[in-house]
Amino acid sequence: MSETVAELGEKAILQRLQPYCSGDKLGDDAAVLEPLPGFLLVVSTDMLVDGVHFSDRTTSPFDIGWRTAAANLSDLAAMGATPLGLTVGLGLPPSLPVDQLEQIYQGISACLQQHRTTVIGGDICRSEVLTLSMTALGQVTPQQQILRTTAQPGDAILVTGPHGGSRAGLEILQNPEWGESISQDDRIALCRAHQRPQPRLDVLPLLRQHYPDKRVAGMDSSDGLADAVLQICRASDVGAVLTGLPIPLMFTTIDPQLAQEWTLYGGEDFELVLCLPPTAAAAVAQSIGPNAKVIGQIVAGQTVTLMPPTPAATARTLTLQQGFQHFGAPATN
Amino acid sequence: MSETVAELGEKAILQRLQPYCSGDKLGDDAAVLEPLPGFLLVVSTDMLVDGVHFSDRTTSPFDIGWRTAAANLSDLAAMGATPLGLTVGLGLPPSLPVDQLEQIYQGISACLQQHRTTVIGGDICRSEVLTLSMTALGQVTPQQQILRTTAQPGDAILVTGPHGGSRAGLEILQNPEWGESISQDDRIALCRAHQRPQPRLDVLPLLRQHYPDKRVAGMDSSDGLADAVLQICRASDVGAVLTGLPIPLMFTTIDPQLAQEWTLYGGEDFELVLCLPPTAAAAVAQSIGPNAKVIGQIVAGQTVTLMPPTPAATARTLTLQQGFQHFGAPATN
């Protein structure tokens, strides 16, 4: 049996976690960073709670750490910012085995290492329910900021990857009998999409290479693809027409209606939804690879319309009401 | 009856909280700040949990917000940094009345306004237990950084105010029959010390005026005066001799032993404990006012010794073990 958090005590816990954090920065009252001259500082906070955002059934302690880190880095990517470091606030049940706490930190630092950044500080405290609160710090030049407010009619809407995989992975983890028509390899890939999402910081250098220092509007799709398009449209006071959804290839054997709903509203895919002129969008999409796709365009007005697959069917208007809501609903994952 | 968090829903809650936050910065995935050129960025995270760090019996929703903000600003002051903004992560029980949530935010913004800063972003989510996680961002020049590691033998130890008041205030709130020898006005002042602590950002300009761009070691006394002196000594590899404790005047009628323990180990006074040459310390103390006090000096070695009030009594060696520990103990406030 691993020792519990209560048995080990706060100062010993901090010592145990030190290897996962940046050298000498943890000791003082605060961490110190040095942003590059001329860069803006970008700050994003995410909070995840056991039983609401994850459960042991679908998420190992390592993956809890990974997903929280990935969600935060995704918020930086959504702003066009590269990471400077992250702080971690941890609310810990006294009965939590210290092994599990270490696994959470291993997950956090594995994800951060991939993106060449680290934990620079934080706080731990006792709580009835395991809680992670992370704040990511990044930097971006004013020219390379990605905002929600600057989409313009005529822009192409580019997504950096398929959507709905995380939701399907969650379904498989919760109901292993679901989706038997999907191959074993694809099932594993879907679970992985849920458990180890990849923030798309890799897209930023490609954007800079193929469309340097130009206006790009956008955000990430953490709350779902439909939510991202609708939020961008509302913030930019424009509408959109979606002509082809980024449905994952492996969804071809499942109910088409469900495939469409999960692609639009599943959430937690952590891709980027970017609005930029069509030629630039095509060049950037090609540099990202076959998973990137132009899914429609920005138009005047305020309506987001999903065009039907055949001319005979009816177009659908998307609304925020169908989207993700954290309160009032029971825990879904 | 006020609506609950569950009834209102996430997006409506965010709209309700918008007036307490900085203008247009809440809408995007992350907030954007522009630190001054040549300044270092200082980042500090604190997490507070209902039943552990506060309870309705001793802390109103307004004061929960105030204290969390004050603790974070105090961490910036402890580094010599002036605030750029704060992010707030909130874990909310669905049954929480929205009124109370607004009062928490009113407390946060009242405290921040006093120090000319604001909430720049954050996250809200559902949680069984009310949880606040704040990250404060500040800036400081490399020369004006206050570190724990740079105290030197011969330095005077300056505290910016009396210690133990917050602990006594908590006692009065929990056991109203306690301390009847203390006047009603003083009892109110002690409760206020607990409920509305003041981060000592006001000390920074005085330090710069009376001891410009010179080495100052130190930290805040959020975990107790003894803890602060011991942490500084450990980080700087020095010892200290304390000759006169900053016991609040109104403690003269209570048990002297208890007065000393609360002054050393009470915690949450959020004063600064600063180490600098004696002449500078005297000048800074005078500029702060009569509550500031030189309590001893840094010496070679590793021991922190508390000199007895009379030559006949025995000196006492202070240790971290007597200090504040967040785990394993029941909630005390």
The last residue of one of the domains, among B114, B141, B168, is B141
* Beta-bridge partner residues of A241: A297, A305
What's the mean pLDDT in A187-192?
A: 95
Q: Residue B145 — very low, low, confident or very high, per pLDDT cuts 50/70/90?
A: very high
Same domain? A43 vs A186: no
At residue A264, φ and ψ (nearest 5 deg) are -80, -40
**Contact assignment for A42 to B31 by CB distance below 8 Å:** yes
User: Taking the model in full, what pTM does it have?
Assistant: 0.86
- C-alpha separations of A289 from A160, A232, B70 in Å: 9, 24, 49
Residues of chain A contacting residue B38, judged by C-beta atoms under 8 Å apart: 37
Same domain? A86 vs A163: no
Residues of chain B contacting residue A53, judged by C-beta atoms under 8 Å apart: 125
Q: Residue A333 — very low, low, confident or very high, per pLDDT cuts 50/70/90?
A: very low
Q: How far apart are CA A327 and CA A249, in angstroms?
A: 32
pLDDT at B267 over 70: yes
Any idea what DSSP says for residue A163? S
Assign B311 to helix, strand or coil: coil
Return the exposure string of A5-35: e unless at least 16 CB atoms fall within 10 Å of the residue's CB, then b: bbebebeebbeebeebbbeebbbbbbbbbeb
Residues of chain B contacting residue A91, judged by C-beta atoms under 8 Å apart: 47, 49, 91, 131
**Contact assignment for B327 to A44 by CB distance below 8 Å:** no
Q: How far apart are CA B11 and CA A332, in angstroms?
A: 18
pLDDT at B35 over 90: no
Same domain? A133 vs A155: no
Residue in chain A nearest B124 by alpha carbon: A47
Question: Apex CA B55: angle with CA B133 and CA B74, to 5°?
Answer: 45
Q: How far apart are CA A199 and CA A202, in angstroms?
A: 8
Q: Residue A64 — very low, low, confident or very high, per pLDDT cuts 50/70/90?
A: very high
pLDDT at A330 over 80: no
The pLDDT value given to residue A27: 52
Q: How far apart are CA B233 and CA A38, in angstroms?
A: 38
The last residue of one of the domains, among A142, A164, A182, is A142
Considering just the CA atoms, what is the radius of gyration of chain B in Å?
21
pLDDT, greater one: A257 or B18: A257
Q: How far apart are CA B96 and CA B88, in angstroms?
A: 17
* Residue-averaged pLDDT of chain B: 89
Query: Is B219 a member of any domain?
Result: yes
CATH, residue A272? 3.90.650.10
By Cβ distance, the residue of A47, A85, A120 closest to B123 is A47
pLDDT tens track for A158-189: 999 999 999 999 999 999 999 889 999 999 99
Among A28-37, A277-286, B160-169, the minimum mean pLDDT is found in: A28-37
Residues of chain A contacting residue B124, judged by C-beta atoms under 8 Å apart: 47, 326
The pLDDT value given to residue A6: 87
Determine contact, residues B101/B141, Cβ cutoff 8 Å.
Answer: no
Q: How far apart are CA B192 and CA B211, in angstroms?
A: 31
- C-alpha separations of A67 from A86, A323, B118, B125, B240 in Å: 14, 20, 29, 16, 45
Same domain? A122 vs A184: no
Residues of chain B contacting residue A319, judged by C-beta atoms under 8 Å apart: none
Query: Is B205 a member of any domain?
Result: yes
**Contact assignment for B6 to A328 by CB distance below 8 Å:** yes
Same domain? B294 vs B172: yes
| Torsion (CA) A239, A243, A246, A250 in degrees, nearest 10 | 150
The interface residues of chain B toward chain A in range 198-237, judged by CB-CB distance below 8 A, are 219-220, 235
Residue in chain A nearest B50 by alpha carbon: A127
Q: How far apart are CA A82 and CA A42, in angstroms?
A: 9
Q: Which residues contact B309 (CB under 8 A, 6 or more apart)?
A: none
Query: Is B327 a member of any domain?
Result: no
Q: How far apart are CA A122 and CA B65, in angstroms?
A: 19
Structural domain span for residue B166:
145-322
**Contact assignment for A148 to B28 by CB distance below 8 Å:** yes
Q: Residue A55 — very low, low, confident or very high, per pLDDT cuts 50/70/90?
A: confident
Determine contact, residues B242/B120, Cβ cutoff 8 Å.
Answer: no
By Cβ distance, the residue of A87, A88, A326 closest to B125 is A326
A93 in contact with B, Cβ within 8 Å? no
Residues of chain B contacting residue A47, judged by C-beta atoms under 8 Å apart: 89-91, 123-125, 131, 133
Query: Is B328 a member of any domain?
Result: no
The interface residues of chain B toward chain A in range 148-207, judged by CB-CB distance below 8 A, are 148-149
By Cβ distance, the residue of B29, B85, B138 closest to A79 is B29
Same domain? A104 vs A25: yes
A75 in contact with B, Cβ within 8 Å? yes
Closest CA to B333 of B33, B92, B73, B53: B53
**Contact assignment for A28 to B325 by CB distance below 8 Å:** no
DSSP string, B38-102: TPEEEEEEEEEEBTTTB-TTT--HHHHHHHHHHHHHHHHHHTTPEEEEEEEEEEE-TTSBHHHHH
pLDDT at A326 over 60: no
**Contact assignment for B85 to A43 by CB distance below 8 Å:** yes
**Contact assignment for A45 to B89 by CB distance below 8 Å:** yes
Same domain? A138 vs A151: no
B320 in contact with A, Cβ within 8 Å? yes
**Contact assignment for B32 to A41 by CB distance below 8 Å:** yes
Query: Is A333 a member of any domain?
Result: no
Same domain? A185 vs A274: yes
Query: What are the E-state strand segments in B272-332?
Result: 272-276, 293-299, 304-306, 316-317
Number of domains in chain B: 2
Residues of chain A contacting residue B326, judged by C-beta atoms under 8 Å apart: 10, 124-126
The pLDDT value given to residue A331: 37
CATH, residue A80? 3.30.1330.10
Q: Which residues contact B289 (CB under 8 A, 6 or more apart)?
A: none
pLDDT tens track for B194-231: 999 999 999 999 999 999 989 999 999 999 999 999 99
Does the model's ipTM exceed the 0.90 cut? no
Residues of chain B contacting residue A13, judged by C-beta atoms under 8 Å apart: 327
Same domain? A278 vs A231: yes
Same domain? B155 vs B274: yes
Assign A298 to helix, strand or coil: strand
Return the exposure string of B189-208: e unless at least 16 CB atoms fall within 10 Å of the residue's CB, then b: bbbebbbbbbbbbebbebbb
Same domain? B131 vs B257: no
Neighbours of A66 (CB within 10 A): 25
pLDDT at B75 over 60: yes
B75 in contact with A, Cβ within 8 Å? yes
Q: How far apart are CA B245 and CA B252, in angstroms?
A: 13
Query: Is B318 a member of any domain?
Result: yes
DSSP string, B132-164: EEEEEEEEE-GGG-EESTT--TT-EEEESS-SS
Query: Is A329 a member of any domain?
Result: no
Minimal CA separation from B253 to chain A, in Å: 34
Helix residue spans in chain A (DSSP H) = 5-8, 10-17, 61-78, 98-114, 165-174, 184-195, 203-210, 225-236, 256-265, 278-288
A307 in contact with B, Cβ within 8 Å? no
The last residue of one of the domains, among B141, B171, B189, is B141
What's the mean pLDDT in A104-114?
A: 95
Query: Is A331 a member of any domain?
Result: no
Same domain? B90 vs B155: no
Minimal CA separation from A74 to chain B, in Å: 9
A128 in contact with B, Cβ within 8 Å? yes
- C-alpha separations of A196 from A17, A20, A65, A193 in Å: 21, 19, 10, 6
Neighbours of B261 (CB within 10 A): 16
**Contact assignment for A91 to B13 by CB distance below 8 Å:** no
Residue in chain B nearest A132 by alpha carbon: B133
By Cβ distance, the residue of A6, A320, A327 closest to B126 is A327
The pLDDT value given to residue B333: 37
B97 in contact with A, Cβ within 8 Å? no
